[in-house]
Amino acid sequence: MAKTILTTTQRLIGLLKLDKKDIKQIFFYAIFAGIVSLSLPLGIQAIINLLQSAQISTSWMVLVGLVTLGVVFVGVLQLMQIRIIENVQQKIFTRSSFEFAYRFPKMTMQGLNGSYPPELANRFFDTLTVQKGLSKILIEFPAALLQIIFGLILLSFYHPFFIIYGFLLLLLVYIVFKFTAQKGLETSLEESNSKYKVAHWLQEIARSILSFKLSGKTSLAMHKNDRLVTNYLEEREKHFNVLILQFMQLIGFKVLVTAGLLIIGGLLVLNQRMNIGQFVAAEIIILLVIASVEKLILGLETIYDVLTSIEKLGKIVDKPLESQEGELLTVNNEFYLELDDISYAVPDRDDKILSNITLQIQPKQTLLITGQNGSGKSTLLKLIAGLITPTSGKIYINNKSLLGININSYRSFIGQTLAQEMPFEGTLLENITFGDKNITLDQVNDVIKNLGLKDYVKSLQLGLKTMLYPEGKGMSFTISKKIMLARSIVKSPKLLLLKEPLEQFETKEAQKIIEYLTLPSHDWTLVVVSHNKNWLSKANNIIELDKGRIINKK
């Protein structure tokens, strides 16, 4: 079933629905605040009428007190709105962080083709824009809309002429939103895209800092940054032009409304169709309405920012996830793996990466996969690990199709060290156990000893609690590979998949680890891709790949 891609507006509505109870409360308080805020012009109208008598009266004092209480009450309502908005902001941040943490490990590898996951993770910072912008939208926009509506209703009671001005006001708001809102959103998205390109390039410079440091007098970093920043500034200027157009429309409206109402209001007073108190109250209401319209139009930039950020976050949500359905795999003793006429292809290549691969891998067998670079060895390991799905053919585990097995249940029986795996930022213990509470400290220490990591751990002041840097920074390549090996075997998996696990190791040390990994006492089936010839004598079966096909079996 094809996945439906939501529009930006639908994403915003979906986000608001998650907190609709809180949002209803915000609107409820906004309605009350809007009604109470009208007590100011009405109170001033009554006060002016009383002051015309040139006497201090009890009524005047009561009105002053009521108007003051109205201001206090509006402030209390706004304070309650701010408290609710803070709760909504915290929920948005929490949901977004857990959404990212849940989705990234479950994204399909095919869905990530053409994407750089760390760059995608940067989209999380759009959560902060949504947090800040949404608070402004939920507090200021409802208040402004209600103030406009209530203000126009109140003005209509003073004179029918004000009804005409009310329709003119609504017409202006419609014109602004109808003819410039979509263009503003489009330019905002383009501006955001160019902004992320700049951020990604800076991230690339930082990631490859050694290469750029040793590049000599070359200025690629600056030249490419100049091109990307220039593009960003051009896109930002386009977006700014839309905002300027909207603001010019607002200025024109303010001039017409202010001049018209002052002239006509004055004429109504001179013709004794309005008294001074009504005129002052009407002008205050008009100023409040104009200020509210100004808030709406100037606030469009906030709406653009929020919608753009939601769209950016939506790019993560749109990435396809691996199915979490299927039968839970149970393995007692034997783990039998079969590949039946497996082929794999990608859209941007004419030839298949793997073609008609058929294999039966017996329990506790050691299978060595050899072949030239680009022959399909890594892809075969990824297929067996369930990281990618074959284009045709099937994979069977204990005579059950892998497609019908819950993928996480299957992977719980697998240990693997693939080329892309490196230590992450966390303690050494977390890097080995991945937080699995079922793995005991004795198991960890046993693996550390057998892989030759004991001296390294002893040299660390905090031992297993030592924090490791991302991608194995600050440690030797072989230590990093040993940690990955320890992670793959610590839970005694039924299937062990290794890609060049002993690359750059000294011959003697590599031989020792190979001896340990191929001990008959281990329960795992071992599938290894390696050019290290020490594996040849330990493998039960050897296959050679060439251009995605098995050309030799031993």
> pLDDT, tens digit, for every residue of 116-144?
888 888 888 889 889 888 888 888 888 78
Instruction: Check residue 496 and give its pLDDT.
Output: 92
3-state secondary structure of 331: coil
Task: Write out pLDDT tens, residues 526-553.
Answer: 999 988 888 888 888 899 898 888 887 7
Indicate the DSSP class of residue 375.
S
- Cα–Cα distance for residue pair 529/500, rounded to 1 Å: 6
pTM beyond 0.85: the answer is no
3-state secondary structure of 72: helix
340, β-bridge pairs: 394
The neighbour count for residue 411, using CB atoms within 10 Å, is 17
For 199-205, what is the mean pLDDT? Answer: 85
Q: Is 535 within 8 Å of 522 (Cβ atoms)?
A: no
Instruction: Check residue 52 and give its pLDDT.
Output: 64
Confidence class for position 447, pLDDT limits 50, 70, 90: very high
Instruction: Check residue 268 and give its pLDDT.
Output: 76
For 487-506, what is the mean pLDDT? Answer: 90
Q: What domains appear along the chain, each with residue ranges and CATH number?
A: 8-317 (1.20.1560.10), 337-553 (3.40.50.300)
Instruction: Check residue 14 and give its pLDDT.
Output: 84
Task: Write out pLDDT tens, residues 387-396.
Answer: 888 999 999 9
The neighbour count for residue 3, using CB atoms within 10 Å, is 9
Instruction: Check residue 45 and give its pLDDT.
Output: 64
Task: Write out pLDDT tens, residues 344-367.
Answer: 988 877 788 889 889 998 888 999
Confidence class for position 94, pLDDT limits 50, 70, 90: very high
- Cα–Cα distance for residue pair 108/322, rounded to 1 Å: 5
Q: Is 410 within 8 Å of 400 (Cβ atoms)?
A: no
Task: Write out pLDDT tens, residues 375-408.
Answer: 888 889 999 988 888 999 999 998 889 988 998 8
C-alpha to C-alpha distances, 12 to 29, 133, 310, 317, 360, nearest whole angstrom? 22, 12, 7, 13, 51
Task: Write out pLDDT tens, residues 137-150.
Answer: 888 888 788 777 77
Rg over CA atoms, the chain: 34
Confidence class for position 1, pLDDT limits 50, 70, 90: very low
- Tell me the average pLDDT of the chain: 83
Indicate the DSSP class of residue 107.
B
The neighbour count for residue 417, using CB atoms within 10 Å, is 23
Least confident of 36-40, 81-85, 520-524: 36-40
For 304-329, what is the mean pLDDT? Answer: 85
Task: Write out pLDDT tens, residues 241-300.
Answer: 888 887 887 777 777 777 777 777 777 777 877 777 677 777 777 777 778 877 877 777
For 99-112, what is the mean pLDDT? Answer: 87
For 87-108, what is the mean pLDDT? Answer: 90
Instruction: Check residue 511 and give its pLDDT.
Output: 92
Between 160 and 231, the more confident residue is 231
Instruction: Check residue 315 and give its pLDDT.
Output: 83
For 323-346, what is the mean pLDDT? Answer: 85
Instruction: Check residue 41 and give its pLDDT.
Output: 67
Task: Write out pLDDT tens, residues 11-63.
Answer: 888 888 888 888 888 888 877 777 777 667 666 666 666 666 666 667 767 77
Distance of CA 144 to the CA centre of its chain: 31
Instruction: Check residue 2 and give its pLDDT.
Output: 42
Confidence class for position 3, pLDDT limits 50, 70, 90: very low
Instruction: Check residue 50 and give its pLDDT.
Output: 66
- Cα–Cα distance for residue pair 133/127, rounded to 1 Å: 10
pLDDT at 339 over 70: yes
User: Looking at 164-241, which runs of residues are DSSP E strands?
Assistant: none
Instruction: Check residue 4 and give its pLDDT.
Output: 46
Residues contacting residue 534 through CB under 8 Å, at least 6 positions apart: 507, 510, 511, 514
